[in-house]
Chains A and B, each alone.
Chain A
């Protein structure tokens, strides 16, 4: 009987555990995913609640109105229609950030922050006050961290270059504030029928949802892994112009060097080469062999430290998760991963976070989009604070070394990113030219930053089917950095 009582208590404790699991999981999933569930366009309740509230206005960081509302009285009440900025270029450059009311653009501010825009954050006092005074309810107005003039400028540049599809993200690497986030092709929200040029879906936000092979920009990650490995970091490498490894069928396959001169039809070898020089000239065979020597596990560990395979749950911005290739892999697969090919996938925004983390001594800040929330009576609501997303390096020496490497890429002789250089400023970067199956030319990529606390800007550029990163993406980075420096004097702090 005594034993029975003990057993009964154990069963009781087990049921307690089950209930604790319910409560913990419920609270966990609601706090982490609640705002995402709320803002999906499947939320009929939100749709119907919108009819009673005038949405709040949306401003850029300098107070430029991006989206207001035209309210027309009707017999039964009113209808509020979004009125966007007068400048078509601004509208088109920011449409993916703002999103549209129909939710065709997934997870724009218009849908993801519907909570604030449609007054769900109002306190009971405010609701009662509006009810008593009979005032139309108006949601909170949002001031974003994005700069509409900068976005407009970047779109002009991209269209000037004839970019068909691609994405650009500009961030403040110290705070995580997103200053610009563009996706091409784009469309005009005031005239949705006019989806301007380009190939592909204009509603798709390539900056946050587009998954791209990072190409040679991933060599920053491979280099970081090599530098963290005491045995490998001191070893010198030999480049014979190509590197061969076994694929899953046991066949030897070659990785040739992107740095070779195809016009001459011969393999140019870099000979004896150290990691720093290999990084500057983006030597594929050196990085491929480094990746194999590192082993898949160590490379994966470093990539995960940078946020690959992480579940990004940022509070103000919805970003697709980046992924490191899975499963048992052949040496050839690992070698390809080391140079950013294989099945590696990352969003342009994540690539910008990687650049930012290197600039910020290994501290990756959470990307932010919301600068200020203002209630309809003008009072400022407490907004989210800055938050560290992850610490990529324990040892600050490695990001410092990476910065030197990336400085060389832009500023040293035969560095691949020399076109990004900006006189008087320490521009650091890494180019990438990612091969995509079924595409004639490579995707041109560039990630980089200004290594200066006075101008803490980071950028990532992905231009689909353009060619070499150093040739197309690096000059665009130069233009963006130049613009930012020119306007440094009157730049308002975003956060």
Chain B
């Protein structure tokens, strides 16, 4: 038993040192190109940051090491790719990353120690709806969607933060068997998102809510109803919004208008083909020609310079995150915690699917971010917080198991 644990740890630490080496070498490579001291600094800071978050944080509270390593690797990949695209954005992603770690800590500790969720969960409902209504009141339109808000000189995307409040509200409602309320809440959120024309995010909320409802009831009727409702919503969106129609047309045949509407998809596909299996090499490609290479198309940039095999590996990392999330959910001893972890997992998994699928033209492109990697402070913080919720549930599970073990030990002593 003890030996097994040791083995596990040593393979995890080997993984950790590999990740650190990867980023060290990558930034050194960039440094050899630009001789910027900032790059050299990053070659040290990024590996150290990974080390600290993977090794240091579990000292503060029980945390899932694998989940920590995976999410750190992904966020650091974001720093690397963004720094390569534009050093300033890379630096700001690094700062966002540190903020996000702090936010994750808060969320983890919160989930671990909050005992009375009732009030919080009920509070989450108006908060979700209120936040989603904000862009309609003071929003500005970007790429056809009105989902961005600037308050007191501080711009953010409310729909990113609502992911957190919504998952809490839904988990609580569903664990109390209040299915109808959950459906109404989800419907209201989706309606508000439709008004903002942000169909990508609507799709994510919809998927998350649907799977949480299915898990809590186990009824195939929910899935069937969801499928029908989803199809109806998609059709409605298609009929109502010109930009959705455009995107579907471009998805069906981007080559028809390769210099116009189809430009982004065409250039993305070409960039992936240019990279091939092994990529052009860091700094040797030209990701600059792809529009939105910082956020929506960052997966394509990764495939372009690092190669398709690396791109597939990144997907495997996301899948591993999903696996951990599912495992944590299954270890939980109450429905609320299980649904909480499940909701976060589904959100991260679906979001990855939706944007990567859009990049490779499997599904129509929608403007959602690649979790943890894409540029954007709100997105990074909310993704890290989702991971934080999973960590919190893990900590609860761990504490419970330890208690149970101690109790068993105590009882054993008593019997003697």
Report A's interface with B, CB cutoff 8 A: 1, 3-12, 14-16, 18-19, 21-23, 25-27, 29-30, 33-35, 37-38, 40, 42-46, 48
- Name the A residues within 8 Å of B319 (CB-CB): 15-16, 19
Say yes or no: A35 contacts B338, CB within 8 Å: no
* Nearest-CB residue, chain A, relative to B328: A8
Interchain CA distance A23-B267 in the complex, whole Å: 20
CB distance from A9 to the nearest CB of B (A): 7
CB of B51 closer than 8 Å to a CB of A = no
Interface string of B388-407 (1 = CB under 8 A from A): 00000000000000000000
Say yes or no: A19 contacts B273, CB within 8 Å: no
Report B's interface with A, CB cutoff 8 A: 211, 214-216, 218, 255, 258-259, 266-267, 269-274, 276, 280, 285-286, 289, 308, 311-312, 315, 318-319, 322-323, 326, 329-330, 333-335, 338-339, 342, 345-346, 349-350, 352-353, 356-357, 360-362
Task: Identify A8's interface contact among B342, B349, B350, CB under 8 A.
Answer: B342
CB distance from A45 to the nearest CB of B (A): 5
Say yes or no: A22 contacts B356, CB within 8 Å: yes
* Nearest-CB residue, chain A, relative to B362: A25
Task: Identify A19's interface contact among B215, B276, B353, B361, CB under 8 A.
Answer: B353
Knowing A4-B335, A9-B330, A26-B308, the reply to whether A42 touches B270 (Cβ < 8 A) is: yes
Q: Which secondary structure dominates where chain B touches chain A?
A: helix
Knowing A11-B215, A19-B318, the reply to whether A43 touches B357 (Cβ < 8 A) is: no
Task: Identify A1's interface contact among B285, B318, B335, CB under 8 A.
Answer: B335
Interchain CA distance A14-B259 in the complex, whole Å: 37
Say yes or no: A8 contacts B330, CB within 8 Å: yes
Given A5-B338, A8-B338, 19 additional A-B pairs, CB 8 A? A4-B338, A4-B339, A7-B215, A7-B218, A8-B326, A9-B330, A11-B342, A12-B322, A12-B345, A15-B346, A18-B349, A26-B308, A27-B312, A29-B361, A37-B273, A38-B274, A40-B266, A42-B266, A45-B285
CB distance from A365 to the nearest CB of B (A): 27
- Name the A residues within 8 Å of B335 (CB-CB): 1, 4
Interchain CA distance A8-B214 in the complex, whole Å: 9
* Nearest-CB residue, chain A, relative to B349: A15
Interchain CA distance A267-B90 in the complex, whole Å: 82
Interchain CA distance A288-B386 in the complex, whole Å: 67
Interchain CA distance A83-B346 in the complex, whole Å: 59
- Name the B residues within 8 Å of A8 (CB-CB): 215, 326, 329-330, 338, 342
- Name the A residues within 8 Å of B214 (CB-CB): 7, 10-11
- Name the A residues within 8 Å of B333 (CB-CB): 1
* Nearest-CB residue, chain A, relative to B335: A4
10 A–B contacts from the bound complex (CB under 8 Å): A3-B218, A8-B330, A10-B215, A11-B215, A11-B342, A16-B322, A30-B308, A42-B267, A43-B270, A46-B274
> What 9 pairs across the A-B complex have the smallest Cβ distances?
A12-B326, A37-B273, A7-B215, A15-B349, A38-B273, A34-B273, A18-B353, A11-B211, A25-B362
CB distance from B363 to the nearest CB of A (A): 10
Say yes or no: A22 contacts B315, CB within 8 Å: yes
* Nearest-CB residue, chain B, relative to A39: B273
Task: Identify A38's interface contact among B215, B259, B270, CB under 8 A.
Answer: B270
CB distance from A109 to the nearest CB of B (A): 18
- Name the A residues within 8 Å of B255 (CB-CB): 40
- Name the B residues within 8 Å of A29 (CB-CB): 360-361
* Nearest-CB residue, chain B, relative to A36: B273
- Name the A residues within 8 Å of B345 (CB-CB): 12, 15
- Name the B residues within 8 Å of A30 (CB-CB): 272-273, 308
- Name the B residues within 8 Å of A34 (CB-CB): 272-273, 276
Say yes or no: B323 contacts A12, CB within 8 Å: yes
Task: Identify A4's interface contact among B215, B318, B322, B350, CB under 8 A.
Answer: B215
Say yes or no: B215 contacts A45, CB within 8 Å: no
- Name the B residues within 8 Å of A5 (CB-CB): 330, 338
Interchain CA distance A15-B258 in the complex, whole Å: 32
Say yes or no: B342 contacts A37, CB within 8 Å: no
Interchain CA distance A48-B274 in the complex, whole Å: 12
Knowing A5-B338, A11-B342, the reply to whether A45 touches B360 (Cβ < 8 A) is: no
Q: Which secondary structure dominates where chain A touches chain B?
A: helix
Interchain CA distance A9-B211 in the complex, whole Å: 11
- Name the B residues within 8 Å of A45 (CB-CB): 270-271, 274, 280, 285-286, 289
Say yes or no: B216 contacts A22, CB within 8 Å: no
Interchain CA distance A25-B345 in the complex, whole Å: 23
* Nearest-CB residue, chain B, relative to A35: B273
Task: Identify B274's interface contact among A6, A9, A25, A43, CB under 8 A.
Answer: A43
Interchain CA distance A14-B322 in the complex, whole Å: 11
Interchain CA distance A174-B218 in the complex, whole Å: 59
Interchain CA distance A3-B339 in the complex, whole Å: 13
- Name the A residues within 8 Å of B334 (CB-CB): 1
- Name the B residues within 8 Å of A33 (CB-CB): 269, 273
Interchain CA distance A21-B356 in the complex, whole Å: 11
CB distance from A52 to the nearest CB of B (A): 12
* Nearest-CB residue, chain A, relative to B361: A29
Interchain CA distance A392-B58 in the complex, whole Å: 65
- Name the A residues within 8 Å of B361 (CB-CB): 29
* Nearest-CB residue, chain A, relative to B353: A18
* Nearest-CB residue, chain B, relative to A26: B360
Interchain CA distance A7-B212 in the complex, whole Å: 9
- Name the B residues within 8 Å of A35 (CB-CB): 273
- Name the A residues within 8 Å of B286 (CB-CB): 44-45, 48
Interchain CA distance A15-B354 in the complex, whole Å: 11
Interchain CA distance A210-B35 in the complex, whole Å: 54
- Name the B residues within 8 Å of A4 (CB-CB): 215-216, 218, 335, 338-339
* Nearest-CB residue, chain A, relative to B311: A26
Interchain CA distance A26-B266 in the complex, whole Å: 15
Say yes or no: B258 contacts A42, CB within 8 Å: yes
CB distance from A13 to the nearest CB of B (A): 9
CB distance from A278 to the nearest CB of B (A): 42
Interchain CA distance A193-B245 in the complex, whole Å: 42
Say yes or no: B346 contacts A11, CB within 8 Å: yes
Say yes or no: B315 contacts A23, CB within 8 Å: yes
* Nearest-CB residue, chain A, relative to B331: A5
Interchain CA distance A26-B272 in the complex, whole Å: 10
CB distance from B332 to the nearest CB of A (A): 9
Interchain CA distance A27-B270 in the complex, whole Å: 14
CB distance from B358 to the nearest CB of A (A): 11
* Nearest-CB residue, chain B, relative to A24: B362
Say yes or no: B338 contacts A21, CB within 8 Å: no
Interchain CA distance A69-B233 in the complex, whole Å: 58
- Name the B residues within 8 Å of A22 (CB-CB): 315, 353, 356-357, 360, 362
Interchain CA distance A6-B352 in the complex, whole Å: 24
* Nearest-CB residue, chain A, relative to B304: A45
Say yes or no: A40 contacts B326, CB within 8 Å: no
- Name the A residues within 8 Å of B289 (CB-CB): 44-45
Interchain CA distance A42-B339 in the complex, whole Å: 47
- Name the B residues within 8 Å of A37 (CB-CB): 269-270, 272-273
